[in-house]
Every structure is written in C-alpha cells, then in structure tokens.
C-alpha cells in the first residue's frame, strides 16, 4: 500500500488551521466475511478531522461510509470479527490496536454517537432519564442537556419511555446523550434519514448550533449531498470503499473535481432540475463490495474512462480546481459541460379537455387502533380528499409521514375500502402500483417470469404468448430476458424496481400509482428510475399518481403537484407554479426544508412536528405550526379555493384567501 | 389493571368450562360403567339402577352436565370410585405435596435457566461441548434423571433420601400444608431441613428439563438483543460489556423466556406425575396414577380441573411479569 | 452523464443454488451433522428392526436378570428377555409415533393456520379462539384424562397427544402467514389480479414452510419425551409390548440391584431425544433462523 502523495492533513480546516488533527486515519482497510466471501467495505482510506470541524462523509449504499463512522467509534460488528489494516488515531488512541477496555474508555470520555433510527437506537424498556444519566451523571445535567437540544418540558420527559416520544424528540434525546460529557467528537450516522423533511431541517440546525456552543467535532455520515451541504465545513465523498474527493464544502459542491462527485451533483433532484426531458443520470449501479474491479471502482460508470483507469487504484492528488484532493488520474481532462439536453418529453395535451382517469370526491378513511382492552382510538387517515387525475396526466402527491398519502394510493388501488366519499376510475385496466420497497413487493420464492406472467393469466393467453409478453415487458424497462428466470434476491435494488415496473405495465393500466418508488434507492439510481417512469407513462399513455415526501422529485415528476397535510389536500396546482410560488404556509415550509446545495440553503424553519392523525387539531389542522395563523384558523376548516388568473392553482388557507386574489 | 384481572378471570372461567365439558364428555365415553365399577360384578340390576338414580346417571345428558357444573360451583367434584371419599377432600389432602414440589421445581427451572442463559450468552457463544452437555440434560426423560439420581445420591453416596416427603415422626400440620413453610412457622428447623432434603432430588428431576429450555430461549433472545441498535448505543456510551448485558440486554430479552416458562409449566405437570411415582411422593400425581387402572374417572377429572386452573393462573402471572418487563405492553 | 440511458445491468447475484446450499451445509456444526446422520440411521433402523434385532422383544431369550455384556449387550430383564432387542423395538415405536404425531400436528395445524391467516377477518377470529382454547389447556394432563377415559392403548395415547399437539402449529403457521400477508408482495399480487386460493397457496404458504419445518424439528425431542412420560405412567400399549417408558416403569423395583433394567430404556429415550434436538438445531442452521 503506497500512501498518498498529498497528505490529507494539508487540506486546511476552516476552523482551526494550526491545531493538530483530532482524528487521523491512514490506509484503513476493513474487510468482513459474509457467507464465505470477503466483503471489502473500506479499501485504503486516509482522512483527518480537525478539532471543532464538521466533516460530511457522503456516499451511496456500499460505499463504506457507515463502516468508516463505526470504525472511528471502535464499534464495528464483531460476528465474525472484521479484518482491519492501517491505523485510526482518535484523541490520541490507536483504535485499531487498542484493547476493548481502552476503546471503551475512549468512547466514554471523548466520543458521542447518533444513529439513524432513533426508535431502535434508544433502549425501549428504560426511562429517558436513566439512559441519559448513564452519560450525564446527574439528573440536573440530564435536564440541562434535554433543554439544550430543544426538548420541551425536560423534567417531565425524564420519566418517559422512548415509545412515548415522537420521532423528532427521540432523535433530540439521542443527540443529548451523544453530547453529554462534552465529547471531542460526535459521529452522526444518517441522523436525519428516518425523519420528516421539516424535522430533518430542525435537527441539522441543532447540530450546527451544538458545534458552535460545545466546540466539538462532528462526523456527519449521509447519503445526501444536500444534507451534508447544510452544515459541513468539509466534505469527503466515498465511492467503493475509497475516498473519491475531499475538500472544503463550498469547493466540493461548487467546483467538484472527481467525475463521480460531478455526476452525483448533477443527478440530484433540486428545485432547479430540468423538467422538460429526462434528467441527467449516472449509468450503471454502485459496485458490489464483494467484487470490486481492480482499478478505479468508478471506471465502469465514468465518461472519462480510459484503459489505464482499469489497471491501478488512483491515489488522492491535488484536486486542481480547489485546494482539496481527489482520486482520479484524469483530473487534468476537463469534464464535458453537461451534455446538451436535446431529448425532450413530447408535449402533453392540455389537461382540462380530457376525461379524468381518477376522480376522488370527499374521500374519508378512518382506522381503528386497539389501545387496550375494549378501548379504541380512531386514526383519521383521510379527512375529505378531493382530487382528479386526468387521462395521461401525472400528479405528484407530497406530504410528510402520517399525512395519509399512502392510504390514499391504497384506496384508489382498491386495496382498502373507504368509509365515505367516492372514487371513480376511468374505463381502462385496473390501477397498478409501484411500491417503495420494490424487493418486498416481489414474492421471494417466485421467479420474475412467474410474477409478471401472473397478470396475464386472467387474460387467458397461452404459455408461449405469456413468455413473449414477459420478455417484451422486461425489454421495455431495460432488463435482459434472462432476468425472467431469476428470483428477487438475485437482483440489485435498481433491477428490482425495474421488475416491479415491468409487472405493473405488462398490461398497461389506466393509472399507475407510485408509492415513493425512489426513496429507498441511491441518489444516482433515483434519477434513472424517474426517467424510466417518465418515458413509460408517455409511451403507454398511462396517468400517474406519484406519492413522495420530496418536493424536488414531485416537481420533476408531476404535471401538477398536490400537497397533503393530515388527511387533506391543502394546495394543488401546476407543478412549476406550486414549487416556485407556493401559496399555503405549509407548502412554503416544505420548500424551505428541502436541503439545498447552494448558498440560499437557509430559509425559515417550521417549528414542531406534524400533529398526530389520532387527534387532528380543530379548524385548519396546520394552525398549531403556522406562523400566519389567525383566530379563525382554530375553528374554521378552509376549503380549496382557486387562485384567480391561474390555471387551477387551488389553496385551502383562510389568511391567504383573506389576502385576496381568490375565488 | 382491574380490567386485566377481570379479563383473566373471565378467561380462566372459559378455560375451566371447556375443560369441564371435555372431562364430562370423556366421562360419558368411558367404556366401563362407573356404577358397575363402583359396586363390583356381583351387584344386582336393582342395586345398580338405584345407585344410578342416586348419582343422577339416569337423567338426560344436558341435565347431567348442568348438574355437574352446578356441583363444581359448590366445590363438589363428585365421589372418588376408588377411595369412596369426595374427590375434593382427596385433592385437599394431596395437593399441598404437589404444590410444594412444583413450586420448588419452578424455582429451580427459573434460577438455573436464567443463570445458564446469561452465562452462555455472555461467554461461550455457540461453544460446542457445553451445548451438547446442556442439550443432553434437556433431552433426558425425567424418570431417567430420577433413577440415576437415586443410584448416585441415595445408593452410592447416601446423601439424600429416595422416597416420600419426610422422615420426621410428628410433622406439624397446617396452615399451608407445605412442609418447609409449616416447619418454619412452627419453628421446627429439623422438619424444614428434612423436607428440603426430600425435595432436592425430585425437584431437580422435574426442574432441570424446563431449566434447559428456558435457558436456551433466554440465550438466543439475549444474543439477538446484543445485536440491536440500542445495545450499540449503550456501547457507544462507553458502558462496560457486563453493564450492557445486565442493565440493557436482560430486561429486553425476558419476553420469550417468560413465554417459554409458561409453556414449560404445562409440561412440568406431566413431569411431576412421573416423578411422584418414582419417589413415592404423596401428591396428586400419585393419586392420578393410582386412579387410572381403576378407571376412577371423577378423580382424574378433578385433577384435570385443578391443574387446568393452576395452569391458567401461572400464565396470568407470566402476562403480568411480561408487562412489568416491557413498558410498551399495556395490561 | 448519459442521456438515453444504456442501462448496464449488473450480473445476477448468487445464481447457483447449489453453491449456496453447500455453504449452508458447511455452516452446520459437525455435531449437528452427525446428529442428522444418526437420525436418518434411526429412521432406517426403525423400518428394518424386526430383521436386525438379535432376539425377540416379547419372549425370554435366556435366564432372567443377566448383567450387561454377559452374553447380552444390555443384559436381560426379570423374565429373561433381551433388553437390547426390547430397546431397539422401543426406539422404533417411539420414533415412528413421534413422527406420526408431528406430521398430523403440522398438517392439521398448518391447514387451520393457513386458512385463518389467509382469510383474516371473522374466520381468523373464530379459528384462533378455538385454537387458543386448546392451547390454554395443559396438554399432558388432558392427554392423561383422554387416555384414562378411553382406556390405555398406544393408539389412544397417540390420539390424545394429537388432540393437544396441533394448536401450536396452527399458531406458528397463522403467525407466519399474517406476517407475510402484511408484506407488500401480497398487496402487489392482489393488484395483479391473483385469486384467493392461488394467493394462499403460491404467495403465502411457501413462506411459512421454513419456520414450520424448523419448529417441528426442534419439537420432535419434546414429543419423544412426552410420549415416553405417558408410556412410563402406563398410558401406552399394554404389558409385554416393548415401549421405552413402560419398560423403565416396570423395571423400577429392580433399580437398586439390577440397575440396567430401568436405566437402559431411559438411555434409549435420552439418545433419541438428544439426537433429534441436535438435528433440529442443525436443520435450523440449514433452513435459516426461525
């Protein structure tokens, strides 16, 4: 292993340029053995972290980003024990070679950790106060910490169990535990991925504040460049278990040197992404960590690829465009400006003239939850939804968790009976659905061919006819015919999503329902799937209802956007109009919470969390979180009213209506 | 809590009604006529008819069932065909011995199983030899453990008695019928130690199999818990591994072990019957075994009902413990 | 930054079922591998016992109470019958009976569990309340009551045990099926227009099989012990029949002087239960955890 010609420590930290680094990682290799095969999670990582800086570690699944974070904590999974080479020095302790007790004391004195899912990361059978006191020492200190991380009524919360708190509060408790005892370094592994967009923004802001107050360093591990961009001083981009690029956050985001970083930034769904045609994408999929290519792991997906890339692993060298470093032998070659986007989607005909494929009229749906013997609680999932999707039109439905958007999809699909209202469908084939977790939507023990062919059984076509149409459907989504023999476990995440699409479209439905089909996919794959959806729906003439929590994705996918809050549509209108000039305070807040890469990233934050659908607030359900709420909002539930002079931009907001221009 | 108790009581009544119905139907299925069996072969037709009328056997089935249930409500478990005494009286005499043995065995099972589960989860993960030894203990039929125990501790070493509950002459009577407890209450330490010595072998024989089952479930539950995110959080705090295991993992792993304990109590009743026979332990197991060859069905029915009630009570207690261990379970 | 995506499909993973199976088998511990082998051997022996047993199981083969290894491997009993031959026959009865009860439990319980889990709603409710009622009865005690009512015989014992053994499997299968039914793959299949029966048989049942097989294999040992206990209590086949539990019970009076008479049959039960427990662990590793 040759070490890099440029020491990573030369990358100046903006905080304390002269202080010795807090963490120094050199030539780190981590290998796990799974099922008799080596999984090479990290393959020679050099990195340093200065005191008081926030380092964003960005990568896709399998890039080794979480392993990097856990190895700093000395908490890699131990069954079977991983093989480590190289060195990690954290606060003067050699983590690779130290014994368990030394590592434990290091964690106790100097380190803190925040994990992805606050539900599973807190002990479910221990009170918050006791869990905090384990690190905080005294109850008074625990209260102070809870107060510092913004938990209301901290004294009372000490007696709570984790399941009695909301997701955002749980993550705040987790953060309080991480910063207890004034650690020098806090490792945060995807701390906001399991949270709602508006809560994510609050948590990221909190991390920034804490760094300023406590002066400790943070490692922010994330798959989302936008999240890293919010608070990081420096960003390290990981690919295939190696560092692709490291540099000051602004440099990496604005003048990326490595082709992968460039590709990642271009395939991000921002509010400026192009809508007229397919999105730019990275070809292929991230490498399988069980079989890395001998050369640059990114070579198979790289547009600058030359033969030399396949032969040797590239070392980190000066990035050229900025003072950071990047691992690429083609840095001198200027990366082509974005390819001229000649391809454009064909024009969709005007919406109003066409028959609706789906028409929802005042749809209500409650769920009864048992909360003990003979006592029931009612969850109001849908509280009067009116929505139309025209033939061939794409509508994006945006909302946070618990707003009822998935319930609505299932009701339209006929998987759930509704309590009140009407769902009218067009005359075409029954709606089909693409699920968030495509892998889970494929029956594991049946082959792809059987699964797709099942939809043709009711059509009464023969075996050879079925096989032919299965092959055609696979071809349409870009999969080779041999996939028909495979089962779901043998497919990659991207392939599974394509199979799910092929199954849904082998007999093209009148309307295709999509339940967050890209949220479980890597950034570089999401754009590919969105392009495929865009092409398929136009080629097959399907209407589409696309559920997402991401306004960026909604703007790209939808002809129109509908925003949902607590079982009601609060705003609906042409996609570009809703995304650029939102009228409802909630839509405005959602827009403000989209993690952006640019300088305009800081906008107004929304306080609190979505109210529980078990007890929707009176009047306008949004009023407890709304900065523009007036007294009438507490009592009057506003109707959707059309903005004058717009093409069907409708908003349900009392104060907005009062301001005029509506009706 | 009140709701829980009420619900459990309702469930217990339901189970007992089902059991009573089953027992009643079984009793009518019995090929041997109970009255014949009671009076012997020489009884005249008239005597049999008179006896049948006296016992209500000539009424319609449904009426008989109603009578039967009505009797049960008054604590009337009918007359034993063998001892010619009310079954309720017999059970009152034999139950304390069985109760003492079962409780002792339950303590053995829980303590031994708990220790074994924690010890194996902490140190020997999947250690081969230990696993085979423990599995052997779990796979041994209780009568084999009993005979080997007698050969070793009675015949070879002479440390422990092989039969009965007590060898002290004037045993104090009441109030509980449990010799160890009564001995303590009467200040008779000789009775306590003697009773304890008699308890050790049969108690271990009944308890060791369940102990192994409980231990195995606890171990695998602990191993799973040690892989959870919140245990990783506890480690990230820099807690000692022993603290992580005892403070964070054990309470979260109790659920499956408690369920297994409830299940094992049912199996333990069978073990108790076997062991009482081997050790001539004067409990309801021995009473049952002596009743079977004489087709003394009222006796067997009484035993079934009493043990069924015990089983339901034990499982209600397990439910309470489970809710106590996990705050997410509401009673 | 390709536009019209020439989609590069990654190679299919783990295409070869055979390699996967081999790694699975090697992950089973050696002890368990031996146990699985031994269990297969026991099954074969059970079939051919009448031809390989050295002596008759019911007629005397020599003088009574001969010590082990004095012409008879396990010695002879109080009437001079060869204990080894009797243990062989006893193993055969125990093993075949255990298999029969497990098979009936899996079939009856599996069917009820599948119907309840797949149908849901009131059918599920009714079937599960019935199952719960059976499950809340103390099994062995009920078996004693049944046998006491019907009179002692092996088939009565087996019927009694079958009555109390199936509810457990109904619960397991129903639980698995409900868990599977909550997965998106079932919604996807319903959307694809798959009928109810095909849904249950093709999309639910195969997923419940591994857990059921593993549970059953871990349960055989319990069953062997329960049957032995019932036989010990005299609830099996009547007198001369070679049943391990009954042999131990009738040998009890000889325990202190001729220990082999009650101990050898006990060891036979231990062997059978141990081998099935070890093999069950092995099968669990082979098929996948629970």
pLDDT per position as a tens digit, A503-543: 999 999 999 999 988 887 888 788 888 999 999 998 888 99
Rounded Cα–Cα distance for residues B176 and B192 (Å)? 14
Report the mean per-residue pLDDT for chain A.
85
Nearest to B141 among C133, C269, C277 (CB): C269
Give the SS3 label for residue A34.
Answer: strand
φ and ψ at residue A484, rounded to 5 degrees: -60, -25
SS (H, E, C) A415-459: CCCCCEEEEEECCCCCCEEECCCCHHHCCCCCEHHHHHHHHHHCC
The answer to whether residues A537 and A409 belong to one domain is yes
Rounded Cα–Cα distance for residues A661 and B12 (Å)? 68
Q: Which residue of B has its CA nearest to A102?
A: B238
Give the SS3 label for residue A45.
Answer: strand
- Give a yes or no: residue A521 inside a domain: yes
* Class of residue A427 by CB neighbours under 10 A (exposed 0-12, middle 13-18, buried 19+): exposed
Q: Given CB atoms, is A463 within the 8 Å cutoff of chain B?
A: no
Classify each residue of A248-266 as buried b or exposed e, where b means 16 or more C-beta atoms within 10 Å of its C-beta: bbbbbbebbbbbbbbbbbb
Rounded Cα–Cα distance for residues C202 and A479 (Å)? 25
Q: Which one of A265, A282, A443, A539 makes the best mutation probe of the C interface by having the most chain C beta carbons within 10 Å?
A: A443
Q: Which of A508, A533, A552 delimits the end of a domain?
A: A508
Chain B contact set for C131 (CB, 8 A): none
Q: Quick one: how many helices (H) and strands (E) in chain A?
A: 20, 23
Rounded Cα–Cα distance for residues B117 and B122 (Å)? 8
The answer to whether residues A576 and A523 belong to one domain is yes
The answer to whether residues A527 and A384 belong to one domain is yes
The answer to whether residues A549 and A421 belong to one domain is yes
CB atoms within 10 A of CB B157: 9
Q: Given CB atoms, is A230 within the 8 Å cutoff of chain C?
A: no
Interface of C with A in 12-51 (CB under 8 A): 12-15, 23, 26
Rounded Cα–Cα distance for residues B143 and B156 (Å)? 18
* Class of residue A169 by CB neighbours under 10 A (exposed 0-12, middle 13-18, buried 19+): buried
Give me the torsion for CA of A534, A539, A540, A546, rounded to 10°.
Answer: 10
**List of residues 6+ apart from B36 with CB closer than 8 A:** B43, B48
A to B CB pairs, distance under 8 Å: 80
Specify the CATH number for the domain of residue A558.
3.40.50.300
Q: Given CB atoms, is A478 within the 8 Å cutoff of chain C?
A: yes
Q: Given CB atoms, is B330 within the 8 Å cutoff of chain A?
A: yes
The answer to whether residues A444 and A569 belong to one domain is no
**Hey, are the CB atoms on B238 and A100 less than 8 Å from each other?**
no
Q: Which of A489, A508, A527 delimits the end of a domain?
A: A508
Instruction: Give the pLDDT of residue B38.
Output: 66
The alpha carbon of residue B243 is apart from the nearest alpha carbon of chain C, in Å, by 28
The answer to whether residues A496 and A587 belong to one domain is no
Rounded Cα–Cα distance for residues A378 and A371 (Å)? 10
B to C CB pairs, distance under 8 Å: 160
Look at residues B166, B180, B256, B185 and name the one whose alpha carbon lies nearest to residue B218. B256
Q: Given CB atoms, is B239 within the 8 Å cutoff of chain A?
A: yes
* Class of residue A350 by CB neighbours under 10 A (exposed 0-12, middle 13-18, buried 19+): exposed
- Give a yes or no: residue A527 inside a domain: yes
Nearest to A455 among C183, C185, C192 (CB): C192
Q: Given CB atoms, is A635 within the 8 Å cutoff of chain B?
A: no
For residue A71, what pLDDT band results from cuts at 50, 70 and 90? very high
Is pTM beyond 0.90 here? no
The alpha carbon of residue C221 is apart from the nearest alpha carbon of chain B, in Å, by 7
A to C CB pairs, distance under 8 Å: 121
Chain A contact set for B228 (CB, 8 A): 120
Rounded Cα–Cα distance for residues A197 and A191 (Å)? 12
How much is the average pLDDT of C9-29? 53
| Contact criterion met (CB below 8 Å) for A391 and A555 | no
| A243-284 confidence digits (pLDDT tens) | 999 999 999 988 888 989 988 888 888 787 778 788 888 888
Spans of all domains in chain C: 74-288
Rounded Cα–Cα distance for residues C239 and C144 (Å)? 18
| C74-288: CATH, from 1.10.420.10, 1.10.3720.10, 3.40.50.1000, 1.10.760.10 | 1.10.3720.10
* Class of residue C196 by CB neighbours under 10 A (exposed 0-12, middle 13-18, buried 19+): exposed
- What beta strand segments (E) does chain B contain? none
Q: Which of A508, A535, A553 delimits the end of a domain?
A: A508
Domain that holds residue A485: 432-508
Chain B contact set for C91 (CB, 8 A): none
The alpha carbon of residue A400 is apart from the nearest alpha carbon of chain C, in Å, by 20
Q: Given CB atoms, is A415 within the 8 Å cutoff of chain C?
A: yes
Rounded Cα–Cα distance for residues C135 and B263 (Å)? 10
The answer to whether residues A537 and A638 belong to one domain is yes
The answer to whether residues A517 and A589 belong to one domain is yes
β-bridge pairing A560-565 and A394-398:
parallel
**Hey, are the CB atoms on C145 and B22 less than 8 Å from each other?**
yes
The number of folded domains in chain A is 2
Please report the domains of chain B, with CATH numbers, ordered by start residue. Answer: 96-330 (1.10.3720.10)
The answer to whether residues A544 and A652 belong to one domain is yes
Residue A383 forms beta bridges with which residues? Answer: A364
Chain C contact set for A440 (CB, 8 A): 183-185
**Hey, are the CB atoms on A125 and B235 less than 8 Å from each other?**
no
- Give a yes or no: residue A646 inside a domain: yes
The answer to whether residues A591 and A615 belong to one domain is yes
Q: Given CB atoms, is C196 within the 8 Å cutoff of chain A?
A: no
DSSP-derived secondary structure for A345-385: PPPPPPSTTSPEEEEEEEEEEEEEEE-SSS-EEEEEEEEEE
Q: Residue A557: enclosing H or E segment and its boundaries?
A: helix A551-557
Rounded Cα–Cα distance for residues A570 and A609 (Å)? 17
Nearest to B270 among C29, C140, C145 (CB): C140
User: Is the bond preceding C106 in cis, omega lying within 30 degrees of 0?
Assistant: no
Give the SS3 label for residue A326.
Answer: strand
Q: Which of A31-35, A445-449, B38-42, B157-161 has the highest mean pLDDT?
A: A445-449
The answer to whether residues A387 and A447 belong to one domain is no
| A137-166 confidence digits (pLDDT tens) | 888 999 999 988 888 888 888 989 998 888
Give the SS3 label for residue A114.
Answer: strand
- What beta strand segments (E) does A200-351 contain? 217-222, 234-239, 242-248, 316-318, 325-327
Rounded Cα–Cα distance for residues A38 and A41 (Å)? 9
Rounded Cα–Cα distance for residues C240 and C58 (Å)? 6
Q: Which residue of A has its CA nearest to B224?
A: A79
Report the mean per-residue pLDDT for chain C.
81
How much is the average pLDDT of B60-77? 81
Rounded Cα–Cα distance for residues B18 and C164 (Å)? 14
Rounded Cα–Cα distance for residues B317 and B321 (Å)? 6
| A189-239 confidence digits (pLDDT tens) | 998 888 888 888 888 888 988 988 888 999 999 988 888 988 899 999 999
Residue A29 forms beta bridges with which residues? Answer: A43, A85
How much is the average pLDDT of C93-118? 93
The answer to whether residues A373 and A466 belong to one domain is no
- Give a yes or no: residue A140 inside a domain: no
Instruction: Give the pLDDT of residue A16.
Output: 47
């Amino acid at each position: 292993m040759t070490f890099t010609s440029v020491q990573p420590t030369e990358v100046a930290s903006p905080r304390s340029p002269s202080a010795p680094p807090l963490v120094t990682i050199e030539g780190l290799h981590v290998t796990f053995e799974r099922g008799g095969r080596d999984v090479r999670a990290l393959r020679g990582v050099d990195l340093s972290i200065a005191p008081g800086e926030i380092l964003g570690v960005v990568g896709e699944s399998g890039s080794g980003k979480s392993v990097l974070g856990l190895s700093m904590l000395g908490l890699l999974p131990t069954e079977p024990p991983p093989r480590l080479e190289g060195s990690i020095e954290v606060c003067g302790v050699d983590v690779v070679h130290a014994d368990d007790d030394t590592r434990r004391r290091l964690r106790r004195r100097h380190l803190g950790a925040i994990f992805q899912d606050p539900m599973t990361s807190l002990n479910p059978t221990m009170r918050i106060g006791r869990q905090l006191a384990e690190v905080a020492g005294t109850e008074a200190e625990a209260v102070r910490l809870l107060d510092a991380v913004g938990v209301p009524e901290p004294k009372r919360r000490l007696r709570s169990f984790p399941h009695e708190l909301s997701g955002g509060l749980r993550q705040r408790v987790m953060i309080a535990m991480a910063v207890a005892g004034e650690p020098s370094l806090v490792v945060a592994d995807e701390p906001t991925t399991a949270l709602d967009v508006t809560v994510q923004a609050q948590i990221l802001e909190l991390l920034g504040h804490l760094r300023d107050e406590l002066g400790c360093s943070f490692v922010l591990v994330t798959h989302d460049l936008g999240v890293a961009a919010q608070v990081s001083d420096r960003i390290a981009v990981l690919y295939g278990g190696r560092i692709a690029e490291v540099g000051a956050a602004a440099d990496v985001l604005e003048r990326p040197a490595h082709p992968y970083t460039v590709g990642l930034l271009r395939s991000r769904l921002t509010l400026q992404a192009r809508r007229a045609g397919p999105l730019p994408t990275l070809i292929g999929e991230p490498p399988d960590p069980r079989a890395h290519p001998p050369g640059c792991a990114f070579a198979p997906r790289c547009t600058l690829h030359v033969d030399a890339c396949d032969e040797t692993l590239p070392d980190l060298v000066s990035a050229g465009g900025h003072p950071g470093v990047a691992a690429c032998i083609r840095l001198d070659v200027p990366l082509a400006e974005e390819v001229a986007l000649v391809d454009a989607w064909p024009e969709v005909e005007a919406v109003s003239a066409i028959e609706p494929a789906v028409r929802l009229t005042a749809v209500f749906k409650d769920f009864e939850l048992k909360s003990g013997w003979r006592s029931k609680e009612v969850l109001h999932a849908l509280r009067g939804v009116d929505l139309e999707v025209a033939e061939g039109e794409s509508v994006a439905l945006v909302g946070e968790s618990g707003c009822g958007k998935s319930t609505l999809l299932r009701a339209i699909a006929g998987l759930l009976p509704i309590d009140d209202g009407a769902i009218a469908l067009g005359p075409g084939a029954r709606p089909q659905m693409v699920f968030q977790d495509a892998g889970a939507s494929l029956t594991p023990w049946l082959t792809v061919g059987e699964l797709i062919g099942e939809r043709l059984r009711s059509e009464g076509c023969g075996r050879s006819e079925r096989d032919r149409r299965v092959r055609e459907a696979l071809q349409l989504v870009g999969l080779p015919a041999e996939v028909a023999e495979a089962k779901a476990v043998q497919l990659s995440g991207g392939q599974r999503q394509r199979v799910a699409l092929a199954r849904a479209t082998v007999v093209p439905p009148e309307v295709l329902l999509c339940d967050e089909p890209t949220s479980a996919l890597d950034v570089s794959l999401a754009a590919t799937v969105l392009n495929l959806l865009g092409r398929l729906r136009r080629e097959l003439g399907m209407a589409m209802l696309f559920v997402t929590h991401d306004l960026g994705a909604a703007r790209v996918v939808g002809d129109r956007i509908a925003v949902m809050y607590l079982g009601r549509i609060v705003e609906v209108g042409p996609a570009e109009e809703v995304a650029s000039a939102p009228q409802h305070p909630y839509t405005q807040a959602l827009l403000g919470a989209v993690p952006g890469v640019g300088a305009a990233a800081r906008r107004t934050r929304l306080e609190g969390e979505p109210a529980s659908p078990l007890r929707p607030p009176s009047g306008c359900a949004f009023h407890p979180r709304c900065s523009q709420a007036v007294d009438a909002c507490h009592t009057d539930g506003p109707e959707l009213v059309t903005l004058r002079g717009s093409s069907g931009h409708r908003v349900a907001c009392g104060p907005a209506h009062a301001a005029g221009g509506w009706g | 809590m009140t709701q829980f108790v009420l619900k459990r009581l309702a469930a217990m009544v339901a189970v007992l009604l089902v059991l009573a119905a089953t027992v009643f139907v079984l009793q009518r299925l019995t090929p041997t006529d109970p009255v014949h069996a009671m009076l012997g072969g020489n009884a005249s037709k008239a005597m049999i008819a008179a006896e049948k009328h006296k016992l209500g056997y000539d009424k319609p089935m449904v009426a008989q069932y109603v009578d039967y249930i009505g009797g049960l409500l008054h604590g009337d478990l009918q007359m034993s065909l063998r001892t010619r005494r009310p079954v309720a009286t017999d059970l009152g005499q034999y139950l304390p011995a069985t109760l003492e043995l079962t409780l002792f065995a339950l303590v053995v099972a829980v303590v031994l199983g708990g220790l074994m589960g924690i010890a194996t989860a902490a140190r020997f993960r999947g250690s081969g030899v230990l696993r085979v030894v423990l599995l052997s203990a779990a796979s041994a039929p209780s009568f084999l453990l009993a005979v080997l125990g007698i050969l070793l501790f009675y015949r070879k070493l002479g440390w422990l008695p092989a039969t009965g509950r007590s060898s002290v002459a004037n045993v104090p009577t009441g109030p509980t019928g449990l010799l160890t407890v009564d001995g303590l209450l009467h200040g008779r330490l000789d009775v306590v130690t003697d009773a304890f010595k008699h308890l050790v072998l049969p108690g271990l024989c009944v308890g060791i199999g369940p102990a192994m089952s409980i231990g195995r479930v606890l171990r695998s539950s602990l191993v799973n818990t040690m892989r959870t995110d919140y245990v990783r959080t506890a480690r990230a705090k820099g807690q000692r591994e022993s603290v992580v295991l005892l403070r964070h993992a054990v309470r979260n792993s109790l659920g499956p072990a408690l369920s297994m304990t409830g299940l094992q109590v049912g199996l333990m009743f069978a073990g108790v019957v076997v062991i009482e026979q081997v050790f001539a332990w004067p409990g309801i197991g021995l009473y049952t075994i002596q009743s079977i060859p004489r087709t003394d069905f009222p006796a067997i029915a009484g035993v079934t009902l009493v043990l069924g009630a015990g089983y339901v009570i034990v499982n209600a207690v397990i439910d309470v413990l489970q809710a106590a261990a996990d705050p997410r379970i509401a009673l | 930054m390709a536009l019209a995506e020439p989609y590069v499909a990654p190679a299919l993973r783990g295409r070869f079922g055979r390699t996967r199976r081999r790694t699975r088998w090697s992950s089973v511990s050696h002890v368990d591998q031996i146990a699985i082998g031994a269990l297969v051997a026991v099954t074969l022996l059970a079939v051919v016992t009448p031809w390989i047993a050295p002596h008759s199981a019911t007629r005397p083969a020599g003088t009574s109470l001969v010590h082990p290894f004095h012409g008879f491997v396990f010695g002879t009993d109080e009437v001079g019958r060869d204990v080894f031959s009797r243990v062989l026959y006893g193993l055969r009865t125990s093993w075949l009976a255990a298999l029969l009860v497990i098979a009936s439990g899996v079939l009856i319980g599996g069917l009820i569990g599948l119907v309840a889990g797949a149908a849901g709603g009131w059918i599920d409710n009714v079937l599960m309340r019935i199952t719960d009622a059976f499950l809340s009865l103390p099994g062995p005690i009920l078996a004693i009551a049944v046998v006491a009512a019907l009179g002692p015989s092996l088939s009565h014992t087996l019927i009694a045990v079958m009555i109390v053994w199936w509810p457990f499997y109904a619960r397991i299968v129903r639980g698995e099926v409900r868990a599977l039914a909550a997965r998106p793959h079932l919604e996807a299949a319903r959307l694809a227009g798959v009928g109810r029966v095909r849904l249950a048989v093709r999309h639910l049942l195969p997923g419940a099989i591994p857990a059921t097989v593993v549970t059953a294999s871990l349960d055989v040992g319990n069953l062997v012990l329960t049957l032995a206990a019932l036989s010990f209590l005299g609830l099996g086949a009547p007198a001369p029949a070679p049943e391990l539990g009954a042999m131990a019970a009738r040998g009890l009076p000889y325990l202190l002087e001729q220990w082999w008479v009650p101990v050898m049959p006990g060891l036979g039960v231990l062997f059978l239960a141990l081998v099935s427990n070890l093999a069950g662990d092995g099968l669990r590793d082979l098929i996948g955890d629970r």
